[in-house]
Amino acid sequence: MSVHVDLTKLDQEAARIALLVLRANVRCVTPPHGYVIPPEQRPVPPMQADSALARLAKPVHCNARMEGELLALDCQLLEGPSRDNFRARATGHAHSWESTLRRVCQEPIDTATLLLRTSTESVTASFRALRQWFEDYHMRYSLSWVGPRLVPPPGVCIVLDVDPPSGISIEMVHVEE
């Protein structure tokens, strides 16, 4: 579902984080040549993908898959109880990072600059944008703080690794006594 919205820098930063996470989830080794972001049927060039994704009504549940050299997104608007449950959990995700940022960063945490990186690429964003991503995008992810073992580049408060979420498999076994 697409609606007309005036995009802010924050909307676009959150969308850039979402695209990085989706590329990590499908293990993109090379950047896609374009994106398929419904409701658009035509591929969107990489430089316009964050704007196209940011224009979707929120919050959305997103998955992605590679189709040739394109990253095809499947984003569904969350509504009703699913939306309410998601929003409650999203607030908790953002709060879980706040104490780490308060401890590590000297500036106000909302404006602290984060470097989110995969094994092949990175994006910088404010913590406010990460909070917005938590609130707008429901997707599988794994974020971890690199910690003091890596000194962040100048202007960056903290480095977060973005990895595909680990697969957990639960198999129910019936044991007869």
The predicted structure's pLDDT at residue 1: 39
pTM recorded for the entire structure: 0.88
The predicted structure's pLDDT at residue 148: 81
Percent of the chain with pLDDT over 70: 90
pLDDT tens digit string along 143-164? Answer: 999 888 888 999 999 999 999 8
Q: Give the residues across from 75 on adjacent strands.
A: 62
Which segments of the chain have a pLDDT < 50?
1-4, 169-170, 174
CB 145 within 8 A of CB 160: yes
Distance, CA of 3 to CA of 43 (rounded, Å): 19
The predicted structure's pLDDT at residue 147: 84
- Tokens standing for 126? 């404010």
